[in-house]
Each structure stands twice: as C-alpha cells, then as structure tokens.
Amino acid sequence: MVQQLKLDEQQKWIFVHSGSGGSATNLSLNQYAALIQGLLTEFNCQVVLTAGPNESAQAHQLAELINHENVRIYDKNEGLVDFAHSLACANLFIAGSTGPLHLSGALNIPTIGFYPSRRSALPIRWRPINDAEKHIAFCPPKGKETQMNLGLIDIPQALRQIIPFVRKMWQLAD
C-alpha cells in the first residue's frame, strides 16, 4: 500500500471514507472537503480517501474538491480482508456510521463518526467498539425536521473539537 499510494511512512495517515454504500446518511462531499482541508492545514499528514465498490468516482470527486498534494485515493483492493488490513495502517479514521468505521474501531484506531440524531441511530447505540476516549461523534440538531440532515453539522465548529482530539490521539503538543 505504501508503494501503491506513494505514502510517506514518516507522516500520520488519516483515512476518510465518504461513501456509505447506501446504508446511512452522510456528510456532503463539500463538508468532507472542508473537514479534510482543516486537518491538512493543522497537521503535516497524508489523507487516504477510501472507496468501496461503486464509490471510486465519489472519492475522485472529493480529491478534486480538496485539491491537496497529500491526498491519496485507495479504491482498489483485494476484497474485505485486504481492506481491513489497510485500515490497520490508519492513525485516524473518519466516516459516517458505516462498516469501515466499525472495522476501524474494532482495530482500536482513533475514529471520528457522523451520525443522525434520531434516537435509533445515535452514537450511544452505534459508536464503534474502540476505547471510549478514542472516538468522537457528531450529530445534527435533534428534532423531527433536522435529525437526519447531516448537512446541518457545522464543520468549522466540529474542527474546534476535532483538532484537540487529534492532537491528544497523536500525542502532539498544542
């Protein structure tokens, strides 16, 4: 994977899975782009955009929106086991409430998840099984009209919590 994606082993790797396989509501590509740009501004790291079956075009579109030399696309693998092995290389994993988020959590990788605020979909129920201090979750405002709209999650506001979380996970000084 290092050779395939031209990754720098001296840098931290943030894996971002913007797809959902149709299983969950998700951030928009513009929200993901703003989030990743904020992290790339703050940290010297590389971002690996992961893509499942039929999600490659979305990952490429996101990479174009981000427009940064430290972004790589990982859309070709040998199936689920190979994909899970790649997740073990991540220093941080970001996604909606999807399978890859839970696989990363099972590997005890620090995770950032985005969830609807509907009672049946809350992170208290669906958070990954990594150590509690290794996960941070964001939801839209509660209410029948807003609970499923992840577009209402304010990314600049979220970054104010995410950046200190990443610093703590990576044991970096402020």
3-state secondary structure of 127: coil
Both tokens of residue 124?
């208290």
Instruction: For residue range 111-135, list pLDDT tens digits in order.
Output: 999 987 755 455 555 566 577 789 8
How high is the pLDDT of residue 99?
Answer: 80
- pLDDT band of 102, cuts 50, 70, 90: confident
- pLDDT surpasses 70 at 38: yes
Question: What are the distances in angstroms from CA 107 to CA 93, 96, 104, 162?
Answer: 11, 17, 5, 20
Range scoring the smallest mean pLDDT among 81-85, 89-93, 122-126: 122-126
Residue 132 lies in a domain: yes
Class of residue 132 by CB neighbours under 10 A (exposed 0-12, middle 13-18, buried 19+): exposed
Domains identified in the chain, total number: 1
Among 23-32, 68-77, 155-164, the range with the most confident prediction by mean pLDDT is 155-164
Is residue 54 domain-resident? Answer: yes
Check pLDDT > 80 for residue 28: yes
Q: What is the pLDDT of residue 126?
A: 57
Q: What is the CATH number of the domain that holds 160?
A: 3.40.50.2000
Q: Amino acid identity, residue 88? A: A
Whose tokens are 């991540």? That residue is 90
85: containing domain: 2-169
DSSP 152: G
pLDDT tens digits along 45-82:
999 999 987 889 999 999 999 999 999 999 887 778 88
Spatial distance between the Cα atoms of 18 and 56, rounded to a whole number of angstroms = 10
Residue 52 lies in a domain: yes
Sheet holding 45-50, edge to edge: 71-74, 45-50, 12-17, 92-96, 111-114, 135-138
Domain contains 174: no
Residue 66 lies in a domain: yes
Does residue 148 register a pLDDT over 70? Answer: yes
